[in-house]
Amino acid sequence: MKIQRSYTDVPEKFFGSVLAIGNFDGVHLGHQAVIAAAQAKADELGKPAGVLTFEPHSREFFAPDAPPFRLSTLETRAAHLNWLGVDIMAALKFDREFSQKSAEDFVKDVLVDGFKVSHVVVGYDFIFGHKRQGTTVILTELGKKYGFGVSVIEPVGEQTLIFSSTAIRECLADGDPTKAATLLGHWWEIEGEVIRGDQRGRTIGFPTANIPITHYHQPKLGAYAVRVGLTAEDGTTSWVAAVANYGKRPTFDKKDLILEVHLLDFDQDLYDKHIRVAFVDFLRPEMKFSGIEELQTQISKDVSTAIETLERYEMRQNKYADKKLSRSQH
């Protein structure tokens, strides 16, 4: 998959692409329906299939001091889109100049002059252009004016449940990553570089890989059964069972939030390594213990519960973890 960061130097082989447009935060099942529709149209027209997204998220740009809300980083989105078989991911820089583009300027500059699109696919609630003046109706009209097709995908869900990033954030805040996974179509993941902490875990028999997740939506504080993705030099990812705690570590009077991950049956140095952590299930809320012995006892219980939990969910493990598919393999 080609990652394109500008609309002014698009490789000629991607001219005429069918583009799915949106933020695609989390790449949940609703997003996947939009992307699948773009891929189907691309196959019909014999054109490349792409995703056009923005970095940073417009909400993040306009309210930089608001609490973090992101479900996925650019890198995580790219990994998911690559697995889905997308030919090109255009992650355009969303800055002050870009935010000033009118709806028609966006269509003309980016879609027509930049990508020379043959067709675009968007969700029913897609809004674009300066002051959010562009709607799906306006996009369809501009498509007729400039000679490209437009498909609008209606809400996707099961019964009364709509797949949305907002619903997923609510699940994570409630401590229900399993329900979040049913909306995402995969386990919710965070990724980051392992930093050096207090190294207290080693002294009590449970060494941890510590990862700050300050740029993500905050899940409920507590202990989780997780899987840790370790990427080899050849690009393949292996997954290791683990138990994690996300919180402030009140037993030691800490105040900063950090994710501490104890990998099971694993003994390698992970400092400064970039890892992925997939949240499988919530085990318990964060607790303050009377001392080290009580903490050790609880962690041992958490490990046992995590092992049982991960075995139970083995058949539902992250479908992105072990293979990559191209569109021709679907």
Which pair of tokens denotes residue 46?
Answer: 């014999």
CA nearest neighbour of 284 among 303, 256, 265: 303
- Do residues 261 and 277 touch, judged by C-beta distance below 8 A? yes
CA nearest neighbour of 246 among 291, 210, 197, 206: 210
Which pair of tokens denotes residue 162?
Answer: 């709509």
Distance CA 291, CA 16 (A): 64
**Residue extents of the structural domains in the chain:** 2-159, 188-316
- Do residues 185 and 316 touch, judged by C-beta distance below 8 A? no
Q: 177-184 and 165-173 are packed helices; what angle lies between their axes, rounded to 10 degrees?
A: 160
- Do residues 183 and 203 touch, judged by C-beta distance below 8 A? no
For 71, phi then psi, to 5°, come to -95, -20
Asked: is 2-159 a CATH 2.40.128.130 domain? The reply is no
Q: What per-residue confidence (pLDDT) applies to 163?
A: 84
Q: The CATH number of 188-316 is which of 2.60.120.620, 3.40.430.10, 3.30.70.600, 2.40.30.30?
A: 2.40.30.30
For 191, phi then psi, to 5°, come to -145, 155
For 35, phi then psi, to 5°, come to -65, -40
Q: Which helix (H) or strand (E) holds 152?
A: strand 149-153
Identify any residues that bridge with 231 across adjacent strands, giving them in sequence order: 237
Residues 6 or more apart whose CB falls under 8 angstroms from that of 238 comprise 229, 230, 232
CA nearest neighbour of 72 among 239, 188, 221, 237: 188
Q: What per-residue confidence (pLDDT) applies to 160?
A: 55
Which pair of tokens denotes residue 165?
Answer: 């990033």
Which pair of tokens denotes residue 221?
Answer: 């504080």
In order of 124, 233, 283, 286, the CA distances from 210 in angstroms are 40, 22, 19, 16
CA nearest neighbour of 86 among 30, 27, 26: 27
Residues 6 or more apart whose CB falls under 8 angstroms from that of 234 comprise none
- Do residues 84 and 51 touch, judged by C-beta distance below 8 A? no
CA nearest neighbour of 1 among 327, 239, 238, 275: 327
Report helix, strand or coil for 3.
strand
Q: What per-residue confidence (pLDDT) applies to 65?
A: 85
pTM passes above 0.75: yes
Q: What per-residue confidence (pLDDT) applies to 279?
A: 97
Q: What per-residue confidence (pLDDT) applies to 325?
A: 37
Q: What per-residue confidence (pLDDT) applies to 215?
A: 83
CA nearest neighbour of 18 among 140, 125, 108, 151: 151
Sheet of strand 18-21, all strands in order from the earlier edge strand to the far edge:
2-4, 88-93, 49-55, 18-21, 119-123, 149-153
Query: Which residue numbers in the chain have pLDDT < 70?
Result: 157-161, 198-203, 253, 255, 315-330
Which pair of tokens denotes residue 304?
Answer: 């046992």
CA nearest neighbour of 280 among 248, 307, 249, 247: 307
